[in-house]
Chains A and B, each alone.
Chain A
C-alpha cells in the first residue's frame, strides 16, 4: 500500500465528512432520508463499477447481473428455502464473483475489443433479466416481498429507515475505500496501463488476464453485496428494477458525470444526480408526465458536453489552480506500483 493511501486516510476531512453523513438521519424527514439512502446506494454501486469501468476502462454493462443476483438470489433463498439472508448474501456474492470471472475468461479468450465487451456484457445482463423473470424460484415477473424489517440484525434486518441508511453508508464508504485502495495498489497501476495501452502493458510483462479478472471479481462481489442490502431496504425485490440493464446504464451515467477512473468521481456523480432525479420527480412528476426525465436528461447532456472527463477532474483542476500546486488524483502516488 502506498503512502498516498495512508496520507489520505489520515486526512481529517474524510472522517469529518463521514461523521457529518452519519448525523444526517437525526434531522432529516423520512422522504429526504430515503433520497439520502438511495444516493448512498448509487455511490456504492458507482464506485464498485468504477473499478472495472473507470480504472480498467472496460465499459461493463453486466453489473445489473451482479446487483440482481445479490438481490433476487438472496431474497429467494430466504423466502423459498428459508436460508438466512446473511448466508444468501455470501452465496450470491460468490455466484456473482464467479460470473464476473467467467466474463473475464470470455473477454480474454476471444480478445474482445471495447465495443464487443460492452455489447456482450449487455447481452449477459439481458439474459440475466430474462432468467429472473422466467424462473419462479427467483420470484418471476412479480418479484419477491421480503418479511417486514423488525431490526433483527441476525436475520439481516436493520430496522428500516435509519438502519438502512447506516448500512448503505457503510457499503458506500467500503466501496469508495476499496476503489481508492486499488488505485494505490499495483493492481490499479496495472489496470491503468491496460486501459491506456494494452500492448505496452504486455511489453512490460503485465498479466492482462489476471488483473482484468481480479478487477471484475472484486467489482462483481461488491455489486452483489450492495444488491442484497438494496433489496432488503426496498423490502421488495423487484426484478424490473434490480436485474434490469437500465440500472447499469444509470450507474455508468453517474460515474461518467462525476469522473471515470477516480475514486471519488462516481460518488460525486451520484451525490448530484440521485437527489436531482428524485427532487425533479417530486416537483415535476405531477405537472406533465415525463417532464422530470426531460429536465434530468437535459442536465446530464449539458454536464457531459461541458466536461467530457467528468466534474471531478474539472473541480480538482480549479482547486489546484487556486492553491497553485496540488496534483489531481490518479497520479498522486510518488512511489508508484
Chain B
C-alpha cells in the first residue's frame, strides 16, 4: 500500500531522515520506534506532506505522491493524528469531528462516519457540545483519533498517541488502535513506548539518528540488541 524508497527529508537543507526505506502492506499495523530526535515525527510529516522530501520516492497505492500537497494526500486517505493531541480547543467536540471530514471526498459520508466514531468512542458522545479544550488529555487523544477517522483514512498515522497519558488511558487507546486494525485499517504507529508497540504491531522499524537501524517482525526486533542500543543511544 505504501512504499517509501531512499527517502531524505529535513529542515532548512539539512536532512533529518537519511535513506529511509519503509514498506507498509495493506491491513498491517506497523510500528515505527525510536528515541527522541530519531526522526519519527519528521517521517510522519514527510508522509503527510508538511515536510517536503529532498530526495527519494513515496508511492501510495501505486501512485507517486512524493510532491503532492498535504490536502491532496488527505484526500487520498493518508491521515495523520498529530502528536500532542492537537484538537481545536475553542470548538465543540462535534465541530472538531466535522472538521476532520471537511475535505470534499469525505463530506458525503461525514455524518455516517461520525456516528461510527461515536459508537467506537462513547465517551465523546456524552460530551458532543462541550468545548474540546475542557476534555482531559486522554479524551483529547480519543477526539484526535476520532477526527482522523472521520476523514476516511486508508492509512492512519498516529504520532505518539500514548505521550503524556495516564497508564489507564494508554491501555484504552491501544485497545482502540488494535480494534481499528482488526477491522482492516492500515495503521502506522509511531511510538517511543517500546513494549506496547512491539506487542501490538506485527512489523516494526527502529529509527536511529534518521536511519532505519533495525526492521523486521516484532519478535525479531524485540530480541535484536541494536534495538536497545538505538534507545539507549550507546
A334 within 8 A of B: yes
Complex CA–CA separation, A333 to B92 (angstroms):
10
Query: Inside 8 A of A331's CB, which chain B residues have their CB?
Result: 90-92, 95, 131
Interface size of B by Cβ–Cβ distance < 8 Å? 31
What per-residue 1/0 map shows which CB atoms of B27-64 lie under 8 Å from chain A? 00000000000000000000010100000000000000
Chain B residues whose C-beta falls within 8 Å of the C-beta of A192 in the assembled complex? 88, 90-91
Query: Which residues of B have CB within 8 Å of A197?
Result: 86, 88
> What is the predominant secondary structure among interface residues of chain A facing chain B?
loop
Tally of contacts, chain A with chain B, CB under 8 A: 78
CB distance from B98 to the nearest CB of A (A): 3
Query: When the two chains form the complex, which single residue of A199, A202, A337 contacts B99, counting CB atoms closer than 8 Å?
Result: A337
CA distance A202 to B78 in the complex (A): 12
Tell me if B2 is interfacial: C-beta within 8 Å of chain A: no
Q: How many chain A residues touch the partner (CB < 8 A)?
A: 22
Give CA–CA (A161, B75) in the complex, Å: 55
Residue from B69, B82, B129 in contact with A200 in the complex, judged by beta carbons closer than 8 Å: B82
CA distance A84 to B77 in the complex (A): 53
Kindly provide the distance from the CB of B125 to the nearest chain A CB, expressed in whole angstroms.
15
The reply to whether A202 and B88 contact each other, CB–CB distance below 8 Å, is no
* A196 interface residue (CB < 8 Å to B): yes
B147 at interface, CB cutoff 8 A: yes
Query: How many angstroms between the C-alpha atoms of A199 and B147 in the bound complex?
Result: 14
Q: Which of A190, A205, A206, A330 contacts B75 (CB 8 A)?
A: A205
Interchain CB contact under 8 A, A204 and B99: yes
12 A-B pairs whose Cβ atoms sit less than 8 Å apart in the complex: A196-B88, A196-B90, A196-B91, A197-B86, A200-B88, A203-B80, A205-B70, A205-B71, A206-B102, A207-B69, A207-B71, A330-B90
Interface residues of A (CB under 8 A from B): 186, 189-190, 192-193, 196-197, 199-200, 202-207, 330-331, 333-337
- New A-B contacts (4) at CB < 8 Å, excluding given A207-B71, A337-B98: A199-B82, A205-B75, A333-B95, A335-B98
